[in-house]
Structure 1
Amino acid sequence: PNEKVANVAVGALSCLFNLFSGYLLPRTAMKHGYKWFQYLMPSSYSLAALVGVQFGNNQDIISVTANNATKQMTVSDYIANTYDFRPERKYDFMVGLIVVWLVVQLAIYLTFKYSSRVGFQDDDWHGLDAPLTNQDGRIGMAVGRTEVHAVEHPIILATLIGTAAPQAGAITDQYALGTSFTVAIDVNATSVEVVNSAGDQVWKSASDRAFVSASTGLTTISQSSGNFELNGDTVGAPAQKITIGGVTSSSQSVEISGSFGDSDWNWTLAFSLDSDHSQALLFNASVDGSDVANVYLAYESPPEEAFFGLGEQTGIGNLRGWRVPIWTREGGAGRGEEPITSVLNANPSVAGQYAGGSLLTTYTAVASLTSSLGRWIVLDGTSYALFNLASNATSPFKDTAQSFLAGDIIEGDHSNSSSTTVEIQYEGSSISGWLGRVTGGNALLEATGALTNVTGRQPTLPDWVNDGAILGIQGGQEFVETVIQDAQNASLPLVSVWLQDWSGTRLQAGTYGIDVHRLWWNWEPDTTLYPTWAEWVPYLREHYDVRTLSYVNTFLANVSTKSTGFNTNFYDIAKREGRFVTNTTAGDGSVWTITSGVGIDAGILDLSNKTTIDWFKDLVKKQFYSVPISGGMQDFGEYLAVDDSVSLSHGTVDPRVFHNAYPTVWASILREVVEELDLTGETIGFHRSAGTFSANHTNLFWVGDQNIDESREDGLRAVVSSALHIGASGFAHTHSDVGGYTTILSAIGNLTRSAALLGRWGELSAFSDAVFRTHEGNIPQVNVQAYTNASTLAYHVYNTRLFRSLKKYRVAQQAQYQTRGWPVLRHPIVYSPNDTTARTVIDESFWVGEALYVAPVYQVRATSLEVYLPPIELNSEGQRLNGSSIRYKHLWSGQEFESGQTVTVDSPWGQPGVFVRWPTTNEEDTQLQDLWDFVEAEKTTVLTA
């Protein structure tokens, strides 16, 4: 163009395009498919050329051939003659051009408004505090290239066509981390946001508090017999008034730093790519300053986001609205079930202070969390942590006997809290880990799978565990053989006996003069109960085709007073060689003594010490695996105290840091033993304690000691909530003691096992458990056992056959876990994410894989059952389904039901509420055929309880 009007027109178009691309485009997180407007650049240049020709006066001479004749003319004349662009029509053309451009701009605006994942952000358009210098310009270019730089002045950089957009005081700078993540930082708004390649929000800084902070004062942690109380009264208020001072970045990482207006501490927050996991983002937040005791990381969570995981959690469904501590300890006998919990918490007894526990007391210390939005986070560390999952609570966190009795820990659904902030408190001056958000598929399943890419997955189980029952028996060789013979005569598919009393029974005085059965923790066979242990174990396998499981833990008891005698006192050896955790207050290498009830004392092995680990591994090989057993219970792991007088590795290891690490080290020792003995394909080792990274080291998790009743908090119902949360934490192989464990005889009431409870528990475990194992309980003589009489044995035979009929289907789900990390048991929200009733489920129902929907019978003598059948919105791959075409087929009657309703079905003995998602796939048909055959074969079976 060579006329002023052309310059004005082209300049106006360029300003509009530059403003649009430089200001609006960086402020969205749209999927690339929506960014059709990026292709407007060529049209912009074309329009500019047309304007230039129309309003310009290009007198360049060109040759034009037409009708076999060639003539010379100017460019302007050629355009005017060919396209009828004549001076008298220039205003018509200009008006048309403006109308077309306004339509385009409107389309662009509507695209942003309705297709953007983030949309517009509020900006304060005001001038910079000072004129930009050359240095500022160089910094700006560094921002555009995402090279390492420091932000000294906020600027806007329009990189699409290379010109700067208007400068503003509030800005959002964007930093690409590979192709998977983008970090957006608004310095003036003190805001940080991370989005993934799909434009979905992975993490966004909290708006109601400092997103990185710190406080003084450690949580007070006290213990009694493995029961730990947590009191946050000693923790100071977190620093606030956070400001961003600088940013450094590269293509692999972004580090943000700043300070606090109410403290002289400085903070940093870094995000970086994980070379091992392309969809995981490493994070680290740290605060530098004197007296920093805790660091905090806070981020936004929309109200609809539901949370699952954080290890074993019983009696709770969606964790939103709860404050959940990460600390391994005794689960408690009751966990909120009344009146037993309050009685034990108010009266320190044989089981110690805070023996009743609360809904928050758990054996696990697993800091891995998934959400219904497909977001997940894993902490890398073992210090005490507290997850505040959008709780409304403002008082210091307490989980103590006193706080429980004061009503501070309230049961129920807390997910309707008004808070939209998740805050993680971590003991120390820094917190690190991994986080991410899945970009496709079923959100909860894929999030769990992504999480297990970091934490690891449980090793496969041996095939034999799917073929029948494991009977827990105590009493010695003669009694065990009698039970085996009776079971096989009743056609019980029996694959193993679990003999936890192989090292001797230690009786503990109980109520009414009835002894509680405990164990002697000295890892050699008891010569009275099992006099020919070495020969007898292989005999059971050869003669009855029954394997033997045993028992071990990291305690050693002094057996000098053991009435049945001993060959070796391993306590004496460990004490002499310095293998125990020591008590510095007592001095002279004194053993730190743990107590597990009156008269049950022992030393705890110091697993922070490599030489002790090697010594204990050798002991386990020679004593535990001296005979061909097939694994066993690998108990405890929670008891390491953190008192000032506790000493690990001669004072070089901090007990507060190692406490949560203890379960993982314990599991890894036993896993290394079976690997070194080449027994991984034969053995199972089940743990109740766990750390974030324990899954790799144990092929089987166990719920722990549960009350012998139907309660939600700590009884039959707790099997389901525990499995759902530990599954969402990355542990798919889990099971319970069929029938429960904790038997209570007291003046306020007794908890003893009935035939009805044992039968209903077996029905549930047939679907929920990876192995089918019973426990006699801690007072066997007052509990109904599977082998008590003909009717209890018949019920157990039935339930075992039911468990066995699910083998093909269960193994397929476990194989899916190995390849994709998906849990076997799944919360109803997995397939019904928008159904309000499904979201509130705690334990009423669950999915086994995608095909089986189970509603246990908790009122054990009920003959009918109400079951809610949620509408199925998604399949496991995240594909949306036509809900009207999916039905529920009742397993026992064959009746089909529409989804989205509550139905009533019969629930006689042996028939829990089980439905098949209908129609099934051909693959599911094959996997479930044995189950259908079982239903047909057992039609005439009549059970009693």
Structure 2
Amino acid sequence: MTTRAVLYITLIAVHLFVAVSGEKKYAFTLTYPDGFNISINNITIFQHSRQNPMIYVGEGHTNFLGGLGNFHINNVIQDRIPLRTFEHITTADKNYVLFKYSGDEFLCNVTFESTSDSDLVVSTVDVGSTPYQYLWLRVVAEQTEKVFGGGEQFSHFNLRDRTYMPPEIVTVLRADDLKYPIWTREQGVGRDKSNLVTYYADLKTGGGGAFHTTYYPQPSYVSTRKYYLHYKDTNYMVLDFSSPTYHEIFVKGIVGKFYFKTADTMLALVQSLSQFQGRMPALPDWVTSGITIGVQGGTDTMLARLKTVQDAGIKVNGLWIQDWSGDIHTSFGKRVFWNWKLNTTLYTKWNETIADLQKQGIRVLAYVNPNLNKDGDLFKDADSKGYFIKDPKTDKTLLTNFGEFFCGSIDFTNPNAFSWYKDTILRKNMIDIGLGGWMADFGEYLPTTAKFFTGSGETLHNRWPLYWAQMNRIAIQESGKEGEVVFFMRSGYSGISNFTTLMWAGDQNVNFDVADGLASTVVAALSAGVSGIGMTHFDIGGYTTFASMGLKRTPELLIRSGEMAVFTPYMRTHEGNQPEANIQVYSNKYILQHFARLSKAHSLLANYTRAAVAEYIQNGTPVQRPMFFVDQTEKSYAAMYQYMYGPDLVVAPIVTQGATSRDIYLPQGTWINIWDEGEYAGYDKYINMSAPLGKPLVFYNNESKYKNVFKCFKQLPAPPTPPPTPPTTPTPVAPCVNKGAAFGSGVWWILLTVFTVISYL
């Protein structure tokens, strides 16, 4: 009996003896002479014909070259086969299509059906269990269609858009420049191959990144054709938006299911996707009022910094001490000693200090990740128990270079290792000593070549952030601290919102760059929100600093990022990887005055923010929302550097260095400037307005029930006057120096830098 005959018998048996799952919500239409169409609510999803097949299979091999969390992925395609012919079987609740290349035997069986929560579910059989371990699926696209999502993206909100790029870059774009690999990894330093910072990072570690590299990818997107696609598995895959007539989804390995759903509005689509993904719990009340100050250096320094900011009138809700376990120094800057227990030499009088701060309503937060420095005693304990992922060649603990120090990584698939880390580190060493929260860092470094208690590195890689988030959440729940303790993550994948309590955008540069600076945090929040993540925030002031290259934080950047952070769920500063090179919140009176004002502004919004969070938990609407949730116009779709904060505030932060004005898109209705009560009518137009330092463009809806709260912003003190800039003495230039000589010296500096880096490597 042929394979095809067996399949026919199986399908008949299923139809006769299994209860029908429900009415089809999609239309399957055969087309003459050799094709079919599949649509949902008159939205065409698939079109298949001999000339333009919807499915391809292939074989080859994929290389994952990883180091320091950066993965360079190379797909070597040895064969790609279009499946042109098919046989079709229909039942009351499903359609089965047997795709073939040639001859009588099928290569791939695809099932189309509806479920209670999805209009169309597409599942495949055989691909991945045969020599053809690659699959390409084509979804119908339109020329003017826009797509959003893909997890947390930093460069592009509309994943098909490149219009912001300079013309000289657009003209050399390749097809690869429209592809989004779904693989969790370091986001990269710079993320723009045309700038020097990215070049330097690539040269030193291969960690410069690109427009698509992200800590939190997700195999889903939302289309302006009013449907979403979500792939519910953790395979390596690629979302390819390079064609004007179709979107191509590439999947490696055993293929999971594709879920499609339609809705009347983009907002309804995102709400549905959020329900499908799960939602985070409500934030503790203390998070949404005031500011958490990032400090380091021990108890005395921590308390001295606190006094400085409190004396200036800053409303403090927390102190975030990364170095609670000690520190080390590398060429990149100051790093934490990854031995997750309190360093009592650095942080003395801990119990009485914590008790006193709690009386003031101030929490102390720390830092942790799933790796242990080999020089610490916790590493030795875990190593003796066999709790780390292993080197497959030696079957011993795999030591990984994390930047001039080596660590073992806890094997989450080992139940004993999972419990040991949760109970010993998260509960005993952190929650039990009174911490109010922590940054749960990393989760994206997992090598594909390691040996695990169960599973393989490739299949576990995208799932790893979920294990890490789950461990942190369970530790809080088992301690009875749900709703009091908060942890925030940068790495993620589909379903992360079932476990984490908050997200953050990761390590941005301390500048305004669109690819990896302040501007990118706006895109990150919006793309994550469209992907179902309702609450996120970012490091005020950025993180990545290269002082020797001139990349260090300025007062302008710190203040502008603080302005934006007011209109996020959580305000938290970061000193950066080179604290001594960066301007800090506590650096001078001028900065202190700005943040006293901004922290009070955030506190004014506490009840409004909590209501927006409650709305997200109830229906999936993210706290930071794209403008097209309100007005689905071409201008609203293009507004990628502004957002709705809750239902009633339009926020357009200044994300360009030196700018004191910008265009803002106001939706239909009457909108009031939150700073001066000026009234403006909106809808389908941009307005250029002044935004001096300390006053980003923020407007509230005149019909808002929080109108009286917003009016209080006018009573805040005016932004402080900048201190006078000291005069500078021009550097004398010898008469014989000309432009050519000056340029030559610049070239010499670059060559010297490159030579130094190569020598270092």
The verdict on a shared fold, with TM-score over 0.5 as the criterion, is yes
RMSD of equivalent CA atoms: 2.5
Aligned: 1:344 with 2:200:
yes
Q: Quote the Cα distance in structure 2 between the aligned partners of 1:372 and 1:860.
A: 32
Aligned residue in 1 for 2:186: 330
Quick check: 1:487–1:787 contact (8 Å CA) kept in 2? yes
Unaligned runs of 5+ in 2: 1-7, 162-177, 724-761
Shift of 1:336: 0.7
Alignment of 1:82-97 (within 5 A): none
| 1:512-551 to 2 correspondences below 5 Å | 516-542=333-359, 544-551=360-367
Which of 396, 414, 430 matches 1:609? 414
1:928 CA displacement: 3.9
- The alpha carbon displacement at 1:575 in A equals 1.2
User: Aligned equivalents of 2:106 and 2:506: distance in 1?
Assistant: 43
Partner SS for 1:310: strand
Structure 2 distance, partners of 1:686, 1:263, is 54
Q: Deviations over 1:885-924 (max 9, x none)?
A: x24433333142454444332222211122234xx33xx2
The aligned runs of 1:57-206 (5 Å cut-off) are 177-178=22-23, 180-186=25-31, 188-195=33-40, 199-201=41-43, 203-205=45-47
Q: Report the equivalent of 1:658.
A: 460
Alignment-mate amino acid for residue 333 of structure 1: V
More displaced 10-residue stretch of structure 1: 312-321 or 671-680 = 312-321
Q: Tell me, in whole angstroms, the C-alpha distance in 2 between the residues paired with 1:557 and 1:657.
A: 26
Q: CA deviation at 1:792?
A: 0.8
SS of 2:80's equivalent in the other structure is coil
Which of 209, 213, 219 pairs up with 1:367? 219
- Report the 3-state secondary structure (helix = DSSP H, G, I; strand = E; otherwise coil) of the residue aligned with 1:239: strand
Question: In 2 relative to 1, CA 937–840 (structure 1 residues): closer, same or farther, beyond 3 Å?
Answer: closer
User: 2:478 & 2:69 partners in 1: Cα distance?
Assistant: 32
Q: C-alpha offsets along residues 695-746 of structure 1, whole Å, 9 cap, x if unaligned?
A: 1101100000000001111110011000010111111110000000111133
* AA aligned opposite 1:908: P
For each residue in 1:60-89, what CA deviation from the matched residue of structure 2 results, as whole angstroms up to 9, or x when unmatched? xxxxxxxxxxxxxxxxxxxxxxxxxxxxxx
* Aligned pairs for 1:510-659 within 5 A: 516-542=333-359, 544-559=360-375, 569-585=377-393, 587=394, 589-597=395-403, 599-619=404-424, 620-643=426-449, 646-649=450-453, 652-659=454-461
Q: Is the 8 A contact 1:470 1:772 kept in 2?
A: yes
| Cα distance change of structure 1 residues 262 and 862 upon mapping to structure 2, 3 Å threshold | farther
Aligned to 1:703: 505
Secondary structure of the structure 1 residue equivalent to 2:257: strand
Within the alignment, does 1:236 sit opposite 2:38 as a pair? Answer: no
Q: Secondary structure at the match of 1:355?
A: coil
2:727 alignment counterpart: none
Cα deviation 1:230-271 (Å, max 9, x = unaligned): 122x123431142221314233x3322221239965111112
Superposed, 1:686-701 pairs within 5 Å as 686-701=488-503
Distance 1:702 1:530 in 2: 26
Contact 1:177 1:183 in 2 (8 A): no
Aligned pairs (5 A) from 1:415-814: 419-438=244-263, 440=264, 443-509=265-331, 516-542=333-359, 544-559=360-375, 569-585=377-393, 587=394, 589-597=395-403, 599-619=404-424, 620-643=426-449, 646-649=450-453, 652-746=454-548, 749-767=549-567, 769-814=568-613
The 5-angstrom pairing of residues 213-362 of structure 1 reads: 213-232=56-75, 234-251=76-93, 253-261=94-102, 266-275=107-116, 277=117, 279-288=118-127, 290-320=130-160, 322-336=178-192, 338-344=194-200, 346-347=202-203, 349=204, 352=205, 354-362=206-214
Instruction: Report the CA distance between 1:346 and its aligned residue.
Output: 4.6
Q: 3-state DSSP class of the match of 2:107?
A: strand
Question: Secondary structure of 1:258's match?
Answer: strand
TM superposition shift of 1:148: 6.2
Equivalent residue for 1:867, pick from 655, 663, 670: 663
On the 8 A contact 2:25/2:120 being kept in 1, the answer is: no
8 Å CA contact 2:670, 2:679 repeated in 1? no
| Deviation readout 1:395-431 (Å, 9 max, x if unpaired) | xxxxxxxxxxxxxxxxxxxxxxxx2211111111423
Q: Deviation digits for residues 592-619 of structure 1, max 9, x if unmatched?
A: 122221x221111111222211121111
Aligned residues: 691
Match of 1:890 among 663, 673, 677: 673
Q: Return the letter of the residue paired with 2:409.
A: I
Query: C-alpha distance in 2, partners of 1:794/1:178?
Result: 63
Partner of residue 404, structure 1 = none
Cα pair 1:635 1:687 within 8 Å, conserved: yes
The answer to whether the 8 A contact 1:468-1:801 is kept is: yes
Cα distance in structure 1, aligned partners of 2:416 and 2:515: 40
Contact 1:371/1:447 (CA < 8 Å) preserved in 2? no
Residue of structure 1 aligned with 2:232, choices 374, 380, 386: 380
> Aligned partners of 2:349, 2:31: CA distance in 1, in Å?
74
2:713 maps to what in 1? Answer: 934
Alpha-carbon distance change, 444 to 341 in structure 1, aligned in 2, over 3 angstroms: farther
Are the counterparts in 2 of residues 525 and 531 from structure 1 also a CA contact under 8 Å? Answer: no
**2:693–2:719 contact (8 Å) kept in structure 1:** no
Residues 286/238 of structure 1: CA separation in 2 closer, same or farther (3 Å cut): farther
In the superposition, relative to structure 1, how do residues 466 and 221 fare at CA in structure 2: closer, same or farther (>3 Å)?
Answer: same
CA contact (8 A) 1:210 1:239 kept: no
Letter aligned with residue 840 of structure 1: A
Q: Provide the rounded CA distance (Å) in 1 between the counterparts of 2:151 and 2:353.
A: 38
Q: 1:265 to 1:271 in 2, by over 3 A?
A: closer
Mind listing any 5+ residue stretches in structure 1 that lack a counterpart? 1-138, 150-174, 393-418, 511-515, 561-568, 873-882
Does the CA contact (< 8 Å) of 1:445 and 1:823 recur in 2? Answer: no
Q: Please say if residues 910 and 943 of structure 1, whose CA atoms lie closer than 8 Å, have aligned partners that are also in contact.
A: no
Alpha carbons 2:317, 2:362 under 8 Å: kept: yes
| 1:647 maps to amino acid | K
Percent of pairs with identical residues = 27
Q: Which is worse superposed, 524-533 or 336-345? A: 336-345
Query: Which amino acid in structure 2 is aligned with residue 594 of structure 1?
Result: T
> Cα deviation per residue 1:752-799 (whole Å; 9 max; x = unaligned)?
1111110011111111x2100000001101111111111111111111
Provide the C-alpha distance between the structure 1 equivalents of 2:536 and 2:103, rounded to a whole number of angstroms: 48
SS in 2 for 1:366: strand
Distance 1:444 1:256, change over 3 A: same
Paired with 2:189 and 2:221, the residues of 1 have a C-alpha distance of 26
Distance 1:842 1:337 in 2: 22
TM-score (norm 2): 0.86
Q: Which residue type is aligned with residue 70 of structure 2?
A: N
Q: 1:805 deviation in Å?
A: 1.9
